[in-house]
Amino acid sequence: MFTLDPRLQADSTEVCTLDNVQVRLMNDARYWWLVLVPEVKDAVEWHHLEPDMQHRLFDLAAHSAGIVEELAAADKMNIAALGNMVRQLHVHVIARHEGDAAWPGPVWGVGESLDYEVPIRATRTQSLQALLQVR
């Protein structure tokens, strides 16, 4: 049975689940930052998934990148599966802006995450839910 890694659970909040992939918003108000987590037991590497799930995860990453790009008015989107710290497979979809906290470097490990104000998180989550669910 699939269970979400405790660190992903602690660091992010569920937006919705689509085709057995959890879409989660990272608890870091500095960025529009999603993680996509396929609900597949023991999954670590993207290319080890069944081909159908590999593509489903890619399509959702691409689709959500388009949505986040527009919501955030992003200068650049970052899509990445790293997993060096948390091995459970998760794909990052991150809106980047020139001059953001890590620009132009990658976001991981830079500075301290910034807590969301509750209404801002709620608004982002609702916008994402509305747009993701009308695929």
Q: Are strands 12-18 and 91-96 parallel, antiparallel or unpaired?
A: unpaired
Both tokens assigned to 24: 């989660």
Closer CB to a second copy, 57 or 116, in the complex: 57
Helix, strand or coil, per DSSP, at residue 75 = coil
Determine how many CB atoms are found less than 10 A away from the CB of residue 111.
10
Both tokens assigned to 90: 């998760």
Closer CB to a second copy, 104 or 111, in the complex: 104
CB of 92 closer than 8 Å to CB of 35 = yes
Among 40, 46, 71, 72, binds a second copy (CB under 8 A): 46
Both tokens assigned to 12: 């992010």
- Pick out residues in 83-122 that bind a second copy (CB under 8 A): 83-85, 87, 96, 103-106, 108-109
Site string for a second copy, 61-80 (x = CB under 8 A): xxx-xx--x------xxxxx
What does the binding site for a second copy look like in residue numbers (CB under 8 A)?
A: 44-47, 54-55, 58, 61-63, 65-66, 69, 76-85, 87, 96, 103-106, 108-109
